[in-house]
Amino acid sequence: MSRRWILAWFCCLVVEITFGQSVQGRVVNYITGAPVAYALVTNDTRNTGIYTDTSGLFRWPGSSDGLLISAPGYQTLQIEKLNSDTALTVSLVEKPLALDQIPASASSKPHVVQKGAWRKRPSGYLSSCEASQPREVALYVPNEKSEAGVLRKISFYVSSKGKQRAPIRVRVYKNNNGMPGEDLLDENVVVMPGRPWYRWKDVIIGRYNLPVPKEGFFVALEWLHSENSPYEGVDSTGTKCFGQILGTTNEFDTCRGWYRTNGGSWSQESCKAGETGKTASPMIRVEWLSYR
């Protein structure tokens, strides 16, 4: 994704035509006009949210006191009170690119660092079972030696149940005093599995040249709602769930799992594993190339 310094006041909101009993809209890139797929649309309190589809389209039922439109790599846009029977074109402005120098010489050879969960079998599972609430789950990845490097790969452990071919978005966040902070991966990295996911599955992100923070960071899986995502919960109560079922692990001494809904505030998982002294954190692992 290209980056340019664009002043925020160039964000535009165009009211075009009217429809019945809903706010309909399309989210596009301000410069190119290309649709922004899987942009998150929430009310201003972030207690309800939906995604745009692959064409950038969304439909918000009824009126709203205000909407927040956000996507990785873009400035969040707030829209004031809207009436129903309205159609919108919402243009998002890209964030400016901040380049960090990668400390490597032409003659140095990097070594591979692997962090996170490494168990072959899960101790439990996490799922997204709230039909109208987009959700993320994150794992804290420490960098004890404060090594400099570039992220190469992120891996997730998924169950054979759920919807393995549903799309997911990969997120990487700064360590903000022990909890997820600002986006580090300012790209819309959406993975559409061509084959059913099962057990450990890798997402290669080396081409984004993402430096590894010396203070550690967080890696998250964001469940994206699409026509291929829904399934009925395994508890046979009719609960509607979405996407992959992520494994959990009790291999860490402390709880490293965090979650949030609708892009709101982060909360730490309870991490109860049913065994004294054990925790249950998301089965996510990373690999980076470290330069000495």
pLDDT in tens, the chain (292 residues): 444 333 333 333 333 333 346 788 899 988 788 899 899 988 888 888 888 888 999 888 766 678 889 888 888 888 886 766 667 888 998 776 554 555 544 446 678 889 999 888 898 888 887 656 788 999 999 999 888 888 989 999 998 888 888 888 999 999 999 999 999 988 888 888 877 788 999 998 988 888 999 999 999 999 988 777 877 666 556 677 888 889 999 888 888 999 998 888 999 877 665 554 557 899 999 999 887 6
What is the residue extent of each domain of the chain? 8-92, 111-290
Q: Do domains 8-92 and 111-290 have the same CATH topology?
A: no
Contact 4, 44 (CB under 8 A): no
CA distance 24 to 60: 6
CATH class of 8-92: mainly beta
Domain boundaries 111-290, corresponding CATH code: 2.60.120
For the entire predicted model, the pTM comes to 0.76
Question: What is the 3-state secondary structure of 136-175?
Answer: EEEEEECCCCCCCEEEEEEEEEEEEEECCCCCEEEEEEEE
Is 227 buried (19+), middle (13-18) or exposed (0-12) by CB count in 10 A? exposed
* Sequence-ordered list of residues with C-beta below 8 angstroms from that of 276, at least 6 positions apart, any chain: none
